[in-house]
Amino acid sequence: MRKKVDFLVIGSGVAGLCFALKAANYGKVCMVTKAKVDDTSTKYAQGGIAAVVYQPDTYEKHIQDTMIAGDELSDRHIVELTIRESTARVMELVEWGVDFDKTKNGKFALAKEGGHSEFRVLHHKDITGLEIEEKLIIAAKQHPNIEILENHLAIEIITQHHLGIEVSRRTPDITCYGAYVYNPNTNKVETILSRITMMCTGGIGTVYGNTTNPTIATGDGIAMVYRAKGAVNGMEFVQFHPTSLYNPKESPSFLITEALRGAGAILKDENGVEFMSKYDKRGSLAPRDIVARAIDNEMKQKGCDHVYLDATHISKTEIFNHFPNIYAKCLSIGVDITKDMIPVVPAAHYSCGGIKVDEWGESSIINLFSSGECASTGLHGANRLASNSLLEALVFSHRACLKAVERFKDIDFCDDVPEWNTEGTVLNEEMVLITQSRKELQTIMCNYVGIVRSNVRLQRAFDRLEILYRETEDLYKKSILIPEICELRNMINIGYLIIKHAMNRHESRGLHYSLDYQGHRDESQSTHDLL
């Protein structure tokens, strides 16, 4: 089957939905999502969205907090335009029906999280992402110009390569014509041609075994763009959320929002002793990279599997009103957070790197835009400031739409694109190989490319991953495609990018902490575009 649309949106989180809702006012939009439309990382975002809405907060304060959290590796121009557009983008969410919590006098109830100097985080209890996702999905389903294809997996973006033209990372005019998409209803890979393609596939957390991300977060968009010779940047900066609920039987890990620490919860060791003040004057509200490393160090020094988050001194009223989901979840495993400390452990949470885009969300590939976690805009630098992710998605999806609608009518469809070639492939029954390779990859990444790294660990990870890569590529070429093998292939590509970028950064900075470069900053690396 061959479909033609004005705008192809891959992914259905806040970035994809925001772009789709705006682009649909100008042309036909097809949204492809590999699971259900609401199965996204957005849905799991608990804390909220950071924006300047009331004094004494100012744009300059938010800009400075973002630069500090990013270890001065953030692009200041990008930080400034994002923060200055924050208020308008948040008000659009309100217009779409998003119900942010308010105080008795009708003002937004703002929270304060790690790294923020002011109360500026808008939220809906402790399920902000779910609230945003639900309201945007309602709007998208009601729009006559938006078609949503659930359980459809994008396999590759279509470029000159598929027309038999050789391209490289130095080719200046690589162009995207759409994507090849697996349709579960026909068990075939179908062709969707588009004038503009928007990549919003979310994160990479499943590359690590212990993650707060949903299982669909396998880095598909970043891997597709990398294979298409597009620019990918900053993949060494993987954020580990300091406080996921310690519950080894559960995957993904349940997130204990940073807003709970903003409300006064304190990190303590197994003896109930506060320890963060040893590492940073901001204590439990230090930026996430500092807190995650501190917890990792405490666990290694004391040989324990987790530390604790103590919220017992917070009033029951505040717990029940602002953190009902966390209270109920902890209670389900026998922890009453009004009386008991919460066992927590760091978990892979967010990729600060991704598809390199400009201030309009456009990638190095012509007619391909990207927004959300899979994009690298320059906002986060070496470490993302809490609750800046939803904001970034809104700002860059808006800006990408402005640029896309300027030009889409002047873009012709490429009718020379061939159908997906399945010649010589067979149905592969070796599912055990895929499952086992996935586990091996996660073990490699957790053991050698985690919160603390070294040259030896990275080289060991690289060598082991190379074997998995060769085996998987051979399996991929011979097999009729199924989503599992495509996801494994993408995860291995992502693992490679994280390792390679980490090996090329000869310093400890933000989320990339190396035992070989402690206290050393190689300034020549600070703005280097690693492909």
Hey, which residues are catalytic here?
288
- Which DSSP helix (H) or strand (E) runs through 158? strand 153-158
Helix (H, G, I), strand (E, B) or coil at 22: helix
Q: Distance (Å, rounded) from C-alpha 52 to C-alpha 116?
A: 11
Q: Distance (Å, rounded) from C-alpha 281 to C-alpha 279?
A: 7
β-partners of residue 370 are 199
Q: Are 115 and 239 in contact (CB under 8 A)?
A: no
Count of C-beta atoms within a 10 Å radius of residue 197: 27
Q: Distance (Å, rounded) from C-alpha 375 to C-alpha 75?
A: 14
Q: What is the CA radius of gyration of the chain?
A: 22
Q: Return the residue matching tokens 């010779």.
A: 229
- What number of CA atoms fall less than 13 Å from residue 131's CA on the CB side? 21
Count of C-beta atoms within a 10 Å radius of residue 474: 10
- Using CA atoms in the order 429, 431, 434, 437, what is the torsion angle rounded to 10 degrees? -120
Q: What is the end-to-end Cα distance of the chain in Å, rounded?
A: 34
Residue type, 129: G
List Cβ<8 Å contacts ≥24 apart for 468-475. Answer: 468/437, 468/440, 468/441, 468/444, 468/492, 469/496, 471/433, 471/437, 472/437, 475/428, 475/430, 475/433, 475/434
Count of C-beta atoms within a 10 Å radius of residue 331: 13
φ/ψ (deg, to 5) at 454: -155, 165
Of 358, 381, 374, give the one whose Cα is nearest residue 67.
381
- Using CA atoms in the order 453, 456, 459, 460, what is the torsion angle rounded to 10 degrees? -100
DSSP result, 25-86: TTS-EEEE-SS-TT-SSGGG--S-EE---STT--HHHHHHHHHHHTTT-S-HHHHHHHHHTH
Of 414, 329, 382, give the one whose Cα is nearest residue 157.
414
Q: Distance (Å, rounded) from C-alpha 383 to C-alpha 348?
A: 13
